[in-house]
Structure 1
């Protein structure tokens, strides 16, 4: 049986020293050419000394803190050519080249749903990914688990958290899901600002290869034994634009 993920969002987290969160606002983003002038705000921006946040109606959100900048795009239903968060992140660091950027995390988040049984997600974690034993029999209810895994890849460490959650439906019911939060963690190894920017751009440009590796790991190593009541969905990164439509 072929399983694939509902890929919900892609995040790019850039660690930085002495970054000023108050710089982030919609005017700065538009006047600097980081985002197009026609983008509309999804809600009122947040701006404080410790955190600023700007969210747009197209699903892109930028959060600035003193030690990091976070770029997130909601990508469910999008094909790879429609995903723009990497370009936004590259334009941001190009606009602020003197910030001391230290590391980059390329973070996809996906989930699978279980429609038939409310306890199917927890059973998947407890019975498919974990070994049975008396340690699971403590207490008055089935054990609930979250897995934190670290893989050593050729280019960087890959962190994966597998956890149980739920989606709230319009009729106020909930659908059990298993979340897969991934993070490819890169160190920025440069001294001068031009070297740093070049290294950052090179890392961010890996996003499609990292997404492909992330999906391959989960689809082939984690979902091969998912029970038959798992909802099957198309893989948005291998579909054509016409298939999405």
Structure 2
């Protein structure tokens, strides 16, 4: 059982009006300098009328939709200096400055693991929730997902806490509790240049938000768990052969 927060990925979601998903393709990204020429795809691109998706072998995935573009990087085996998703998002915005960008979410995701699913459930229903008869309704133990909203000085912080499982290569599962966070920023601007400048300023704050997310989870949610060990370092480690199944 790991009572440490393992930070698995970091995402940047940019809300935009009338964004054309067809823009997203490997040639556009490479010839415009958004990603290096040597980057390789892990699978064939996905392209439909309302969605385009590119996944690279280095753990970065980009998804384009009519109302947003999503940049996600798996950071489990990377040092802070090796994380590049923020620079990719900034280059994308700078290359397409005339899109009406409206907001940005800086979204870290992490988890803690347990030896048994019941222990993960108990953490949610007993550690984070007050007991009562309302928990005993039904023929099976209640399962819970918490959606929390915090008003921070610089922006709202949204946090979803839920049960899930890590699926190992041998198809066995490790019970976990997920902590999905989102620091939500509004883009305030009147011109394309101002929008790009504002977006870059927000995205440049990603390391601070990642560190604050880890501190919030470790000090506010995990402080009472046994064998607490803080994992806020330059190296964020997770077995790359595992995947999360909700």
State TM-score, norm by structure 1: 0.92
Contact 1:145 1:164 in 2 (8 A): yes
Deviation larger for 165-174 or 51-60: 165-174
SS of corresponding position for 1:139: coil
Q: Are 1:169 and 2:149 an aligned pair?
A: no
Superposition pairs of residues 1-245 of structure 1, within 5 angstroms: 3-115=3-115, 117-227=116-226, 235=231, 237-239=232-234
Structure 2 CA distance for aligned equivalents of residues 149 and 113 of structure 1? 21
1:174-221 CA deviation, whole Å, 9 max, x = no partner? 110000000000000001011110000000001001011111110000
Say whether the 8 Å CA contact 2:3–2:112 is kept in structure 1: no
Q: Secondary structure at the match of 2:86?
A: helix
Q: Across the two proteins, how many residue pairs are aligned to each other?
A: 235
Could you list the structure 1 runs, at least 4 aligned residues long, displaced by more than 4 angstroms after superposition. none
Instruction: Give the CA RMSD over aligned residues.
Output: 1.6
Is the contact between residue 145 and residue 163 of structure 1 (CA under 8 Å) also seen in structure 2? Answer: yes
Contact in 2 for aligned 1:158/1:183 (Cα 8 Å): yes
For residues 205 and 3 of structure 1, what CA distance do their matches in structure 2 show?
30
TM-score (norm 2): 0.92
SS in structure 1 of the partner of residue 78 of structure 2 = coil
- Counterparts of 1:201 and 1:29, CA distance in 2: 18
Query: Could you tell me how far apart the structure 2 residues matched to 1:27 and 1:171 are?
Result: 37
* CA deviations over 1:142-173 (Å, ceiling 9, x no partner): 11100000000011000000000011122222
- Return the alpha-carbon distance in structure 2 between the equivalents of residues 171 and 87 of structure 1: 36
Gaps of at least 5 residues in structure 1 are none
Tell me by how many angstroms 1:78 deviates: 1.1
Instruction: Supply the distance in 1 between the matched residues of 2:147 and 2:235 (Cα, whole angstroms).
Output: 33
Decide whether the 8 Å contact of 2:78 with 2:235 is kept in 1.
Answer: no
| Counterpart residue number, 2:241 | none
Contact 2:3 2:226 (8 Å CA) reproduced: no
For the residue of structure 2 that corresponds to 1:119, the secondary structure is helix
